Amino acid sequence: MEIDLNQVVKEGERVGYCYGDCDKSGGGSGSGWCSLSSSSSCCSSTSADSSMSSSIYFELWHACAGPLTSLPKKGSVVVYFPQGHLEQAASTSSFPCFEMPTFGLQPHIFCRVVNVQLLANKENDEVYTQVTLFPQPEWGKKKLDDNGHADAGVEDEGTEGSASKTPQMFCKTLTASDTSTHGGFSVPRRAAEDCFPPLDYKQQRPSQELIAKDLHGMEWRFRHIYRGQPRRHLLTTGWSIFVSQKNLTSGDAVLFLRGEDGELRLGIRRTGRPRNSLPNSILSSQNVHLNILSPVANAISTKSMFHIFYSPRASPAEFVIPYQKFAKSITHSLSIGIRFKMRFEKEDTAERRCSGVVTGIGDVDPFRWPDSKWRCLKVSCFTDVANLE
């Protein structure tokens, strides 16, 4: 399934997601969970129904992608780093980066964003995106002021649109009991009341059927019951089939999201970073990664568009950066000994903040990519602060 991001919500307009870094106390059940609502702004669409459905998909996609994932806006100017693109390819290949041809590309390629599509891999449910770029080398020649602003043409990053109500969401880190073929999925009471339709508690055994769509639009049916001593919310019939077909294991996270119209969506976020997030069809089309930069070189020479695929969960780092962010970074003087603070995401999906000091400045690959700003700083981190709120 795919969606045109630019007809739904612009980048930067979302807050308050759960990304699997759930409360490990889990009340009396011993499971990790959290319940929250998120907020964003939506652009106009051809119909209210399609806009609402697309907005829910957008929210769910980002929840599955991770807390630090950001995407460029359509029409914006960005800087594409071929080195980063090769790093992503090398993470799923037997060929290291230095064996992949560069095709004579510059380390920084200035482009205009033509389109962004949010996608999900049917093979493993990992999310990825296709970004269409149009090379605009003239942006590399523009003069910058002290604040990193070009002499014309680029606006500061920001949010647009009006705020609207957004879906309720909860995620839970699965326990061994949740993934057992003989058990069910235990849902925290507050999460069930926030995200699921209300049960009729006057019944002796309150129950209902839930229908939830995943990122591919496939419907999953679950029996939601309220029983036991003490009573608790459970998903029974249909749950073991979902666990089996999605190959879920203890430690993976499941996300449920309910839109304004009551539509349920669900996604998964596997524990640890995947080795391969892109579909095999895409990987094979890149000829075992050796020609991954060939379409880029051809687009520059013919002044045409090119497509890149970015996997936020598998990629070591983002390699399409907003122009303003890049410009500000090169106009700020850095030296060895400067202290810094940064956010990062760990294998357990938790977003953390660390501080450290710059210990070196230089090209990571001076022979193939001279004067590149990609990974040009060597740092030493000495503080790992607790999870971000």
Q: How far apart, in Å, are the Cα atoms of 70 and each of 14, 89, 129, 227, 359?
A: 10, 20, 11, 42, 28
Decide if 367 is inside a domain: yes
Decide if 310 is inside a domain: no
**Could you tell me the residue range of the domain that residue 378 belongs to?**
333-389
pLDDT of residue 37: 36
pLDDT of residue 150: 55
pLDDT of residue 115: 95
Decide if 158 is inside a domain: no
Segment 320-360, tens digit of pLDDT: 999 999 998 888 778 888 888 877 665 545 567 788 888 98
Decide if 389 is inside a domain: yes
Decide if 216 is inside a domain: no
Segment 77-135, tens digit of pLDDT: 999 999 999 888 887 666 777 778 899 999 999 999 999 999 999 888 999 999 999 99
* Domain count within the chain: 1
- Helix/strand/coil for 127: strand
CA distance 172 to 178: 10
pLDDT of residue 147: 52
| Torsion angles phi and psi, residue 127, rounded to 5 | -90, 150
Tokens representing 383? 């503080």
Single pTM value for the model: 0.76
CATH code of 356's domain: 2.30.30
Decide if 365 is inside a domain: yes
Decide if 66 is inside a domain: no
Task: Report residue 2 CA to chain centroid gap.
Answer: 14
Share of the chain above pLDDT 90, in %: 38
Decide if 72 is inside a domain: no
If pLDDT is split at 50, 70 and 90, which confidence band does 197 have?
very high
